[in-house]
């Protein structure tokens, strides 16, 4: 069953990721009528929201764009940083959406940030359990039920993290699309491109959350489903 879950969601994740890259490539080929780069879009959106303590940087990689709340930086991949198209505009504005969430203490982002160390610890616990089981020393002397509580508890926290991430990502996209539309950064057709690009970006998080839920359900069944 676990192999089936991995295969199904692995394939689904691969399809969504390829679709996202295809959309980004397609929308990158149409020059933005406003002729603004992703960097310029990000700086303008931050300024419009009175955020002056966030810098916009260029980082290596493809679709490696992210906002770092620790050092308050919007980090854009070269294609987005220098790009002057609807795809670059959408991604740059989306990452600034996270900066705005941070500045306004958006509840879901605050919750997600608070969960980061707990989520990391849960991942380490699961790795220890996996290594111990592979070495044949599956916590000798520890009751099976306790092992179950450890695994399900740790994976439950990781699953909760993926679920909390969803409203954070959807809200950032909502803020981005509202701003580029109200600021007349994009035309009607460019807005449609931006919206479609962000939709497929959001789908990667949806697939991750569903995969995590399915795996959690599997572990619950394995440890607590056959107790009769």
Taking the domains of the chain in order of start, what are their residue ranges?
Answer: 2-224
Active site residue 145: no
**DSSP H helices in the chain:** 2-28, 38-48, 78-81, 86-103, 107-134, 144-182, 188-224
62: helix, strand or coil: coil
What's this model's pTM, rounded to 2 decimal places?
Answer: 0.88
Would the pLDDT of 42 be above 90?
yes
* pLDDT of 1: 64
**Catalytic pick among 40, 43, 60, 95:** 95
Contact 95, 67 (CB under 8 A): yes
Would the pLDDT of 138 be above 70?
no
Q: What is the pLDDT of residues 163-190, one digit of tens each?
A: 999 999 999 999 999 999 999 999 999 9
**Tokens coding 179:** 């701003």
């Amino acid at each position: 069953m676990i192999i089936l879950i991995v295969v199904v969601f692995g394939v689904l994740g691969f399809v969504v990721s390829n679709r996202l890259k295809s959309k980004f490539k397609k929308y990158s080929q149409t020059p933005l009528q406003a002729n603004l780069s992703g960097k310029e879009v990000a700086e303008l959106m931050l300024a419009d929201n009175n955020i002056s303590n966030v810098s916009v940087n260029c980082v290596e990689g493809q679709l490696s764009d992210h906002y770092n709340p620790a050092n308050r930086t919007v980090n854009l991949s070269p294609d987005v940083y220098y790009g002057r198209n609807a795809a670059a505009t959408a991604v740059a504005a989306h990452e600034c959406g996270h900066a705005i969430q941070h500045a306004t203490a958006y509840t879901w982002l605050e919750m997600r940030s608070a969960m980061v160390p707990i989520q990391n610890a849960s991942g380490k616990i699961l790795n220890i359990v996996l290594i111990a089981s592979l070495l044949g020393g599956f916590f000798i002397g520890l009751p099976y039920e306790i092992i179950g509580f450890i695994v399900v508890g740790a994976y439950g926290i990781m699953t909760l993290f993926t679920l909390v991430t969803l409203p954070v990502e959807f809200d950032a996209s909502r803020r981005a699309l509202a701003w580029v539309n109200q600021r007349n950064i994009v035309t009607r057709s460019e807005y449609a491109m931006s919206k479609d690009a962000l939709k497929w970006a959001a789908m990667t998080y949806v697939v991750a959350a569903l995969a995590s839920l399915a795996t959690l359900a599997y572990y619950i069944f394995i440890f607590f489903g056959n107790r009769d």
